[in-house]
Structure 1
Amino acid sequence: MTVAKDRVNDAPATPSIDPDEVAKFSAMAADWWNPRGKFRPLHKFNPVRLRFIRETAEQHFNISPNAKRPLEDLRLLDIGCGGGLVCEPMTRLGASVTGVDASEANIKTALTHAQEQGLQIDYRAGTAEGLIEAGEPKFDIVLNLEVVEHVADPHQFLKDTGGLVKPGGLMIVATLNRTAKALATAVIGAEYVLGWLPRGTHDWSKFVTPEEADAGLTASGLITEDPIGVSYNPLGDSWKLSGDTKVNYMIVARRPAE
């Protein structure tokens, strides 16, 4: 009985924000949502992945691309949601969104910004393991975006998060490949030469190859598709889908319907 109680207590929960904290987290939200601030790379990267998520969901769930709220009635988890840069657009598309992040500061920041925008998002501070141990109902869509390269055990993390996908649902993973090109561009170039990211943001040795990602996802019973590359166009200062998976890539994984 004690173990079960401890597991419930470990379940991700929405932190409270007292009046004295509002100004602090509003300022942090403004930083997260500033397209010219330190999160500029995420803002540049966001349009291509948001479009990919929407189009993948429409195809998977047989939704009309003309629907104003195509994700209506779908339950979506954004694991490692940060300041909510994906949660808010998904909410506006109609999804019932749960955003989970290990950083309580990130969750309070995301919660504050969502309230300022008049959006209802179920933000919780915690981990995927906490969701599982608490018996969280499974999700139609699980987004696993730029998270797996930061965890201690990528294989187990992918297996665990894959287990949160309900029958007939899907997961989208976005991460970085462990290649020489990724070391040169995503670490040395982005952090040390261009200064797009703070130095030390990424540990190249923890990058995940498509084969490793596939192994973790299939271990949870998901059926994976071939990875899709996401490449930077310096002339347009923008990102696009491509056939080059040597740096950034995304994988779609689906759980068969029962």
Structure 2
Amino acid sequence: MQTNADDSELAKFSALAHRWWDPQSEFRPLHEINPLRLDWIDAASPISGKAVIDIGCGGGILAESMAQRGAKVTGIDLSDKALAVARLHALDSGVSVDYQKIAAETIAAERPGQFEVVSCMEMLEHVPDPASTVRACADLAAPGASVYFSTINRNAKAYLMAIIGAEYLLRMLPRGTHEYQRFIKPAELTRFARDAGLDVVELIGMHYNPLDKRYSLGAGTDVNYLMRCVKHA
């Protein structure tokens, strides 16, 4: 099976892996949005005691926070450095997360239907074939399970805010973090989900206010957005 990964993308994030848990680093936005996305997931699919898998877990910010709420978490990624950081931080935090270096498509073939919650956050815009990742997420989900995605819309506003604004003007992210042509419109992600046997049940925007420097969830999916799906029972 050919791995659905971009070596340049893996190298980009591996080079920054040692800074993953520094809340003032390039990963500051992930630290700041994590409580929002964690609460959103936990409210819709209470995760305590559930088998959860986080696809593209990186250094483990979301995976670890879900484990702290009682979930039985598996975190997968293809970056050795990011996974090493994730494992060390979990030891320091005293939480249990099963971190594995494995592709989503591979573990989906090995463990189909074994997870009650599947999350794939801020990853789809970094892989060559996002539809393949969506199918893998669907295959991993048990019937009736919830599958969560977050990514970036593809339009002029998203280009101005997610690349020009965030990377060049506000310098919230390193230049080159995102490539505009890899952004995904909600209609496209909806099609990927439905083709994979998922029902889309919620679509919500993630917004940043540069005045008070705070994030919030709400109506409007012009730039960053999150999608909740349910696997066909």
Common fold: TM-score over 0.5: yes
> Which ranges in structure 1 are unaligned for 5 or more consecutive residues?
1-6, 11-26, 59-70
Map 1:149-164 → 2, pairs under 5 A:
149-164=125-140
Residue 106 in structure 1 maps to residue 94 in structure 2: no
Shift of 1:233: 1.6
The alignment covers a number of residue pairs equal to 221
Aligned with 1:118 (options 77, 94, 108):
94
2:227 and 2:109 map into 1 onto residues whose CA distance is 26
Corresponding residue for residue 134 of structure 1: 110
> What is the percent sequence identity of the aligned residues?
38
Contact persistence 2:51–2:73 (CA under 8 A): yes
Corresponding residue for residue 46 of structure 1: 34
Shift of 1:170: 0.5
Structure exhibiting the larger radius of gyration computed from Cα positions: 1
Map 1:1-258 → 2, pairs under 5 A:
31-58=19-46, 71-135=47-111, 138-257=114-233
Q: Which runs of 4+ in 1 moved over 4 A?
A: none
Paired AA for residue 182 in structure 1: A
Shift of 1:160: 2.1
2:203 and 2:191 map into 1 onto residues whose CA distance is 13
Contact persistence 2:153–2:223 (CA under 8 A): yes
Paired AA for residue 166 in structure 1: A
1:192 and 1:91 map into 2 onto residues whose CA distance is 35
2:210 and 2:45 map into 1 onto residues whose CA distance is 29
Superposition TM-score, scaled by structure 1 size? 0.81
Superposition TM-score, scaled by structure 2 size? 0.89
Deviation track 1:54-108 (CA, whole Å, cap 9, x = no partner) reads 11113xxxxxxxxxxxx23200000000111001110011100000011111111
Shift of 1:28: 5.3
Shift of 1:225: 2.1
Shift of 1:133: 2.9
> Which ranges in structure 2 are unaligned for 5 or more consecutive residues?
4-15
Contact persistence 1:155–1:212 (CA under 8 A): no
Shift of 1:156: 2.1
Paired AA for residue 50 in structure 1: L
Paired AA for residue 63 in structure 2: C
Corresponding residue for residue 13 of structure 1: none
Corresponding residue for residue 10 of structure 2: none
Corresponding residue for residue 6 of structure 2: none
